[in-house]
Amino acid sequence: MIHKIKAMYDEGRGQSIRRIARELRLSRNTVRKYLKQSVDEISAVLNQVSRHKRLDDCKPFIISLLQGFPNLSAVKIERRLREEFPDMCCSRRTMRRYVSALKEEVCIKQPRYYQPVVDMVPGHQCQVDMGELRDVSIGGVMRTVYFAVFVLSCSRLMYTVASLLPVDTETFIRMHDAAFRDFGGIPQECVYDQTRLVVIREEFRELTLNSRFAEYAARAGFAIRVCEGYDPKSKGKVEAGVKDVKHDGFYGETFRTVEDLHGYLAIWLGEVANQRIHGITGEPPRIRFERDEVRTLRGYIAPVVHPDGHDAVTRQADRTGLVSWKGNRYSVPMNWQRQTVWVRETDSHIIVLDAARREIARHERLAGKGGLSRNNDHYRNKAITIRQLEAQISETMQPLDATGLLALIKRTLPTIYKDQLVGIRQNLHARKDKIRFEELNWICDRSTLTATRFRELLEVAPAMLARLAEQTKQVNTGALQRYEGIAGGHHAHV
C-alpha cells in the first residue's frame, strides 16, 4: 500500500493527495504521513516483527477460543472479546486480519500426515466411485442419470457405466462386471468410499462389508479397500473422473433414447476421455494402458454370484398379474399375466425378470407373510392413454386432419411415442391461435419430426411461409414481365 501511494504521487508529478486518498479509501493525513517517510524509514517499520499490535493483549484469550473451536468466525470472536474486554477498541477489518494471521501462526488442529499410495504399479489398483447428474434430457424428459466410474490408478484408463435407476447391490455388481470385461482383466484391489453398496457399517475402522458384494469380490478375485469417512483425497483419481463425466461427458447433451445415451458414453470414453493427454502422466491413458498395464491384469471370469439370472427361480403369474414369493404376492405388468417369469431376491428388493433375464418389475421386499405389493402402473393400459392423447391432439387441430402429423411422429420415435404426444399437445396448447393448413403441410413436409422440432417449426412457420410467398410473387412477377416484353416485341414486329 505504501509503495502504491508513492508510485501514484510520483514525487509531486502524479496524482494529488486528495485523489490518492479517494481512490485508496484512506484519509489524507495517512497519505501525507507515508509520503513524508523515506523508503528506509518505511522498511524499518515494516521489518519490526516484534512491534506491539492493538490486539496482542487479547491474544491468549483468542488462542484459547480457537483451540476449542477452530472454525470460529472473526465476527463471533469480536463479540466474545467485547464481553471480556469492554475497553477494547479496533475495527472489524483489523479483527479479521488479526484472527486470520493467528490461525496460520498457531497450530490449532492436528495436522494430517500423508503416506505414499501404491498407485503407479501396473495392475495393482482400480479406484471406483458413484455419481449422479440431474436434469439430463432423454427423449424430451428430464431424467436423473446414475453412473459408476472406474479408473485404473497406473494408466488412468477410465470406464463409465450409467443407469436411470438408483444403483443397488445387484446393479453395482453388474457395473463391475462390465468394467472388468472392458479392461480385459481385474486389478489386485479396488478402492471405494464408505458407500452402503460396499460397507454396511464402520466403527473404529472396523468394517462390516455388504455380504453380497463381498462374496462377489472374493469369487472374482480382487481385494476391497475402503477409505476413511469423508476422505475423498484417498481416491482423488476417480474423484476427478466423476467430475469429468459430469461436466465434460453428460453436461449440455440431449439424448433421444436410453440407447443413444449408452452409445454416446462409449464414444466419449473411446475418443475423448481415454485419448486426451493426461495432466499427470503426460500421455493418453489408452496408450499407457496398452503399453504398461494390460498384461499385468489378471484374467477375469464372471463368478456364479454374478446376477445374470443364475440365482433366479421361475414363478407363474396368476390371472390378476401376481406372483407368489415366500408367502407374499408381487404384481407384474398386464402382458405377463398367466405367464412364466423369473424371480430373484436381493437384500431389500424382489426383482422379476423375463426369459431373457431383463427386469420387468421391482418391489421392496415385504416382511412376514400374507402381504401384497401392487404397482398401479402394472394395471394401466398404455395403449388407451396413447389413444386418448391422439384424440386430444386431433380435437385441438380441427378442422385439420392430424393423421399425417401423428404418423410422422410415431415413425420418427416409436419407442417414446407417448412422451412425444404429450409434447405435441403442450406445444399446440401454448399457441394462441390455431395452426393453419399451410403451416401444417410445411411442417410435415420432412422425413422426421420430433416434439421439440415441431415447437421450433411452429414458431417460425408464419414468417417462413410469408417469405416463401413473397419469393413466389417476385418470381411470378418477373416471369410475367418477361412474357409481356416478348409479346409486345412480337406484336411490334408484326
> What are the residue boundaries of the structural domains of the chain, listed by start?
2-105, 125-296, 313-379, 383-469
Query: Is residue 479 within 8 Å of 471, Cβ to Cβ?
Result: no
Alpha-carbon distance values, 26 to 20, 347, 360 (Å):
8, 68, 73
Q: Over range 50-75, report the average pLDDT.
A: 74
Flag whether pLDDT at 306 surpasses 90.
no
Which of 28-32, 223-227, 390-394 is the most confident on average? Answer: 390-394
Q: What is the CATH number of domain 313-379?
A: 2.30.30
Which of 8-17, 357-366, 394-403, 427-436 is the most confident on average? Answer: 394-403
Would you state the pLDDT for residue 386? 84
Q: 72: buried, middle or exposed (CB in 10 Å: 19+, 13-18, 0-12)?
A: middle
Flag whether pLDDT at 105 surpasses 70.
no
Flag whether pLDDT at 85 surpasses 80.
no
> Who has greater pLDDT, 379 or 93?
93
> Who has greater pLDDT, 107 or 420?
420
Mean pLDDT of the chain: 80
Q: Which of 123-137, 301-315, 430-444 has the lowest mean pLDDT?
A: 301-315
Would you state the pLDDT for residue 108? 44
Would you state the pLDDT for residue 328? 93
Q: What is the CATH number of domain 125-296?
A: 3.30.420.10
Sign of the CA dihedral running 229, 230, 232, 233: negative
DSSP 375: -
pLDDT, tens digit, 9 for 90 and up, residues 446-481: 889 998 889 888 888 888 888 888 877 776 666 556
Q: CA–CA separation, 301 vs 186, rounded Å?
A: 9
Q: Which of 109-123, 298-312, 428-442 has the lowest mean pLDDT?
A: 109-123
Query: Is residue 310 within 8 Å of 302, Cβ to Cβ?
Result: no
Per-residue pLDDT band for 233 (boundaries 50, 70, 90) equals: low
